Amino acid sequence: MNVGDYDFELPERLIAQTPLSDRASSRLLVLHKDSGQVEHRSFKDLADYLMPGDTLVLNDTKVIPARLFGRKADTGAKAEVLLLKALGDDRWEALVRPGKKLHKGAALHFGETEDSVKPLLAAVVEEEGEMGARTIRFRYDGIFNEILDRLGEMPLPPYIKERLEDRDRYQTVYAQNEGSAAAPTAGLHFTEDFLRELQGRGIAVCRVTLHVGLGTFRPVSVDNVLEHKMHEEWYGVDAENAAMLNRARQAGTRIVAVGTTSARTLETLGQRFGDRPIEACSGWTGIFIYPGYEFRLVSALLTNFHLPKSTLVMLVSALAGREAVLAAYREAVAAEYRFFSFGDAMFIT
């Protein structure tokens, strides 16, 4: 269970910097988990691998413009804040830059009003946490989400160097519940027309919510996988979608997760309810899925290609086997698939 066992070589040129003009025009690598067989297809061919009665589970979280650029109130030095988790009472868990200079008590200003004196948004660092996290309390006049929409930028991953011209391209077409610091990127491939086509074929479309935060993209800083601790993220499912999952379980049909965030939400529900019917619920999950894990709900997974040595590579390896996954990744590199958030897709069936 060494983290290095999940490493692979990836040429930097294969890291997708911009989304394709047509969401559904990506390539699709299909990995058959029982045999290890790999097929090279197009994303819309996903319809050929889904069957009537399958339940496709989407994460309907919506990314907020969570990256704020401002200045320290006392020195005017530049400061950056990435919002991760709403804690209530205008308090947020966040990552900050420069971390070595933004300690407890530091005051920050973002934006300016017309008189150029009072900032649109002010903040103070209240607590210092693990892995560079901070608890920040905001002060403002008006509605916070409107101010954030005006001042904030989409929190693209650090490996994306190109500027995103269209903010909506870092949202799924079904994004609904605001709260994520990153997009559930497997869902970026879907168009509304393709989802309707799948439903017309008898495939049920279910929605859950997991607000993507530090738990999804925090790097693994230990050598032993078992020593890594996931950061908790908020999840929820309503009564209507819980009933859809229960029908799928009762019928014995496949539950297909769209993305690792949907998979982790489903498995959290599986652990929470066991063999009992799933009920509408919400809460916090720090579930960590790695090889040896026995899946309770997820039968198949649509996902993107992930960072080497990441918890996400470990999750897909838990479903399909480490050797099969790394072999598929090597084949994807050789075939020059596009990797990571704006890259191509992989279907594990």
Answer whether residue 70 shows pLDDT above 60: yes
Summarised one tens digit per residue, pLDDT across range 120-153 is: 999 999 999 877 789 999 999 999 999 999 999 9
Give residue 130's pLDDT: 76
**For the chain, what is the mean pLDDT?**
94
With a pLDDT cut of 70, the percent of the chain lying above it is 97
pLDDT band of residue 224 (cuts 50, 70, 90) is confident
Summarised one tens digit per residue, pLDDT across range 101-115 is: 899 999 999 997 555
Provide the whole-model pTM: 0.92
Give residue 214's pLDDT: 64
Answer whether residue 317 shows pLDDT above 60: yes
- Judged by phi (left if over 0) then psi (alpha if -120 to 50, else beta), residue 189 lies in alpha
- Can you say whether the dihedral through the CA atoms of 144, 149, 152, 158 is positive or negative? positive
Average pLDDT of the residues in 195-221: 88
* Long-range Cβ pairs for the range 17-23 (8 Å, 24+): 17/160, 17/161, 17/162, 17/342, 18/162, 18/164, 18/342, 19/164, 19/169, 19/170, 19/188, 19/342, 20/342, 23/173, 23/188, 23/189, 23/190, 23/191
Spatial CB neighbours of 60, under 8 Å, sequence gap ≥ 6? 172, 174, 175, 176, 177, 207, 208, 209
Phi, psi of 269 (to 5 degrees): -65, -40
Answer whether residue 221 shows pLDDT above 90: no
Q: Which of 26-40, 71-85, 184-198 has the lowest mean pLDDT?
A: 71-85
Give residue 56's pLDDT: 98
Cα angle for residues 14, 16, 22 (degrees, 5° grid): 125
Among residues 260, 251, 168, 262, which one has the least CA distance to residue 206?
262
Q: 3-state class of 90 per DSSP?
A: coil
- Write the burial class of residue 9 (CB in 10 Å: 0-12 exposed, 13-18 middle, 19+ buried): exposed
Summarised one tens digit per residue, pLDDT across range 20-65 is: 999 999 999 999 999 999 999 999 999 999 999 999 999 999 999 9
pLDDT band of residue 1 (cuts 50, 70, 90) is confident
- Can you say whether the dihedral through the CA atoms of 241, 83, 222, 14 is positive or negative? positive
Strand 133-140 versus strand 91-97 pairing type: antiparallel
Give the CA distances from residue 228 to residues 4, 133, 311, in Å, rounded to whole numbers and listed in that order. 13, 17, 9
